[in-house]
Amino acid sequence: MATTKDIKNRIKSVKDTQKITNAMFLIASTKLRKAKSELDFTRPYFSMLQGEIKRIFRTVKEVENKYFYPVSGEREFPGSYGYLVITADKGLAGAYNQNVIKEAIRLMSEHENPKLFVVGEYGRHYFTAHNIPIEQSFLYTAQNPTISRARVISNLLLDLFNRRELAKIYIIYTDMQNAVNSQACSTRLLPFHRTQFIVPGTYEKEVKRPFEFVPSVEEVLDNIVPSYVTGFIYSALIDSFCSEQNARMTAMDAANKNAQKLLDELSVQYNHIRQSAITQEITEVSSGAKSMRKKTKGLQGGAKV
């Protein structure tokens, strides 16, 4: 049976752990606000890029470009498919990393000879431990996503796509739908489809004056798309980072509540043991006093005789 000293040590250990989980909760909430702010600053620029691509297709509907599906509607292409998987650098974020990895494995199982590109130490260690070959691992990008790091990833993937070493490129990340829900999802990064730049439910104005593209519409698209891909990857990095922090906040909040529940149970157990010890001491003192009284009476009775 545990002694009061053992329970006091256990209570101290739980309180120390609770301090750590509470600190991690506060750090995650600070990082989440900062990441959301950075994403809001850059979102208008890439929204404008999407609008310009949309305007091009409204003007020249039959334009062909290597970054888009052919006008004929062909969907399948021979060759390797690339998969950019975004995980965290560490755990303690609930099922955040496992959900992304499950989605990546499911998607890669649908095609032969997949080429894997990993962001985050957790994903790199997982795929290495399970003998899944990694084409390229991008270090130190999950914890501090920036537009320059997104551009490095974009340039590598675009180079492989332009050299036809990759027929399609998918990105697997976590979408933070709201403050409560986050979901691992996969999106085809390249090639694009024209419908991706048409927002459902919006009114399409008729193009009265055709635009002039210099030197050509193909060259314009070739210059716009790399920037758009960079923005898409940066948005996915930020979205994943926000989801990671949100998942960590949820996990740490649950840990704090469990720690408090455990402290309450230990406090009750400590009080019971202490009360039992006090009761036992009182019983021993009372028994000793009673025994002394009996002994004293016995001595007095013998003296009278």
**Where residue 203 falls among pLDDT bands split at 50, 70, 90?**
very low
Each residue's pLDDT tens digit, 110-122: 887 889 999 988 8
Please state which of the ranges 51-55, 222-226, 245-249 shows the lowest mean pLDDT: 51-55
Tell me what pLDDT residue 156 has.
92
Widest Cα–Cα separation across the chain: 135
Please state which of the ranges 51-55, 154-158, 239-243 shows the lowest mean pLDDT: 51-55
Segment 221-240 mean pLDDT: 85
Reported pTM? 0.76
Tell me what pLDDT residue 84 has.
93
Segment 101-108 mean pLDDT: 90
Each residue's pLDDT tens digit, 42-84: 767 777 777 777 777 777 767 777 888 776 666 677 788 999 9
Judged by DSSP in three states, 169 sits in: strand
Tell me what pLDDT residue 36 has.
75
DSSP per-residue string spanning 45-100 = HHHHHHHHHHHHHHH-TT---TTB--TT-----SS-EEEEEE--SS--STTHHHHH
Helices (H), the chain: 4-59, 96-108, 121-129, 147-162, 217-304
Tell me what pLDDT residue 116 has.
92
**Which amino acid makes up residue 78?**
P
**Where residue 170 falls among pLDDT bands split at 50, 70, 90?**
very high
Tell me what pLDDT residue 83 has.
93
**Where residue 85 falls among pLDDT bands split at 50, 70, 90?**
very high
Nearest-angstrom CA–CA distance, 102 and 184: 9
Tell me what pLDDT residue 208 has.
60
Nearest-angstrom CA–CA distance, 185 and 187: 7
Burial readout 106-140 (b: 16 or more C-beta within 10 A, e: otherwise) = ebbeeeeebbbbbbbbbbbebbeeeebeebebbee
Mean pLDDT, the chain, rounded, equals 79
